[in-house]
Amino acid sequence: MNVTGTLNVLWAAKECGVPAVVAASTSAIYGDDPVFPKRER
């Protein structure tokens, strides 16, 4: 987990008055499981 990078983005957004920060990810974090749909663990 990139905690320092995340905090830097959040602090910069706050300083610039950004109303929202969107976090995006990928299903690749769940590995090569062939089962669909993917379920959070």
35 part of a folded domain: no
Q: Is residue 9 part of a domain?
A: yes
pTM: 0.57
Of 5, 8, 4, the C-alpha closest to 16 is 8
Is 37 contained in some domain? no
pLDDT digits (tens, 9 = 90+) for 1-41: 589 999 999 999 999 999 999 988 887 777 787 888 877 76
Any idea of the CA torsion for 8, 12, 18, 24, to the nearest 10 degrees?
-30
- Tally of structural domains, the chain: 1
Residue range of the domain that includes 15: 1-25
Quote the CA–CA distance of 14 and 29 in Å, as a whole number: 28
Q: Could you tell me if residue 31 is inside a domain?
A: no
Q: Is residue 38 part of a domain?
A: no
Residue with tokens 């320092």: 4
- pLDDT of 18: 97
